[in-house]
Chain A
Amino acid sequence: MNGDPIDDYLARLRAGLRTPPARTAEIVAEAEDHLRESSAAAAGRDERLSGADAQRAAITAFGPARRVVRAHRPSAAEFAAAAAMKAWPVLGCYLLLTSLIGWVLYASLTPTREKPAAWMPGLPLALEYGGAMLLGAALVAGFLLVRGRRSRSGAGLARLPRGLVPWGTVIAPLALGIAGYEKLIERPLIHTEQVLAVVMQSILAGGLLVAGGAVWTLACLLRVAVAALRAVATARLSRDR
């Protein structure tokens, strides 16, 4: 707050608007032009009004910031598009990571080359993990392509309600992890670690996504490295036996 009522009002307006950034800038610029002119007109009509009082009169006539924000609310389709663009890369990275960790654990947990229980009966585990990896890679590549096109065209996205993205990236992977656990729980498991890895990965990936993509990537790489080291240690142990 800098003491100028119109500047303070515009700051509240800018913070509340959920429109894409370019449209937000236009709405705020138009509001400022209106308020400044209205304030000057109010001061012209009543010389007894101070500058700040004239600004407050203009703001009262313009309407509360909350009401103006509501009037500019993006459509449901715009919100859905914004949510899809947020979920798209998360799903792609999640599939890539799940399959990568699965591959590492597959190598580390089957020293006897026993065929482990698979997600889908009849489908070789290699195909499942390979398919998930390819799908994840395709999703990530597709997202980067679409994002590049949107940047070049200047198309922006609606701002999603605060908290939706962090909570969504924690809850969705967790739900997928739990679903995976439910699916594997009845099978003869040499995959206890695999199940734990899926659940842990979900919670960790979701939690770290909140902290930022770079941290998340680093943490995932770290976990892959740890799983690889475990695989080496397990292989050595079974060799020594």
Chain B
Amino acid sequence: MNKERLKGNLDMLLLSVLAAGPAHGYAVITALRGRSEGEFDLPEGTVYPALHRLEGAGLLSSSWSDADGRRRRVYALTGQGETALAGQRTEWKRFSSGIGAVLGWQA
């Protein structure tokens, strides 16, 4: 998978993973890899700035807890994030069906 193309859609993918419920960074990255069947495999450390950026934009919220004697940051989708995700899903559906039409694929 072209890494640049993945980076352009990373925000939507992270929001989508967190739509299933709050999770910490490692769980988000593992879920992303699992749900994409290994297709999406970015260097794990570079995903965190995207999570922080989404939190700064109000699409995610985070809280700290203790896990195994370590500090753990758990992210959750906000109402604003749900709205943004719904919009991005609609946009992606339109985009991918347009691409499919041009490439001659069945919808």
> What is A's interface to B at a CB cutoff of 8 Å?
26-27, 29-34, 36-38, 61-63, 67-68, 71-72
Neighbouring A residues of B73 by C-beta, 8 Å = 26, 29-30, 33
A150 CB to closest chain B CB (Å) equals 19
Query: Using an 8 Å CB-CB cutoff, how does the interface string of B16-30 with A read, 1 for contact, 0 for none?
Result: 000000001110010
**Would B67 and A33 count as touching, CB distance under 8 A?**
yes
Question: Which A residues lie within 8 Å of B43 (CB)?
Answer: 61-63, 67-68
Q: Is the CB of B24 within 8 A of A33?
A: yes
Q: Which of B24, B29, B48 contacts A27 (CB 8 A)?
A: B48
Q: Known contacts being A30-B25, A33-B26, A37-B26, is A67 close to B46, with CB within 8 Å?
A: yes
User: Which A residues lie within 8 Å of B68 (CB)?
Assistant: 36
* Measured CA separation A151–B87 after assembly (Å): 40
Asked whether A71 lies within 8 Å of B70 as measured between CB atoms, the reply is: no
Distance in Å: Cβ of B27 to nearest Cβ of chain A: 9
Give Cα A176–Cα B65 distance, bound, in whole angstroms. 52
B93 at the A interface (CB under 8 A): no
* B45 part of interface (Cβ distance < 8 Å): yes
Bound-state CA distance A26–B70 (Å) is 12
Instruction: Name 25 interchain pairs, CB-CB below 8 A, sorted by A.
Output: A26-B73, A27-B48, A30-B71, A31-B48, A32-B70, A33-B24, A33-B25, A33-B73, A34-B44, A34-B45, A36-B68, A36-B70, A37-B26, A38-B26, A61-B43, A61-B44, A62-B45, A63-B43, A63-B44, A63-B45, A63-B46, A67-B46, A68-B43, A71-B45, A71-B49
Give Cα A52 to B24, complex, Å. Answer: 24
Q: How far is the CA of A67 from the CA of B43 in the complex (A)?
A: 9
Q: Give B26-58 as 1s and 0s: 1 = Cβ < 8 Å from A's Cβ atoms.
A: 100100000000000001111011000000000
Closest residue on chain A to residue B25 by CB atoms: A34
The minimal Cβ–Cβ distance linking A64 to chain B, given in whole angstroms, is 8
Q: How many CB-defined contacts (below 8 Å) exist between A and B?
A: 53
Residues of B within 8 A of A (CB): 24-26, 29, 43-46, 48-49, 67-68, 70-73
Complex CA–CA separation, A38 to B40 (angstroms): 17
CA gap between A177 and B34 in the complex, in Å: 63
Measured between beta carbons, the chain B residues less than 8 angstroms from A27 are 48
Known: A34-B25, A37-B26. A29 touches B70 (CB 8 A): yes
The winner among A34, A62, A68 for most chain B CB atoms within 10 A is A34
Assess the A67–B45 pair: CB atoms within 8 A: yes
Q: Shortest distance in angstroms between A218's beta carbon and chain B's nearest beta carbon?
A: 43
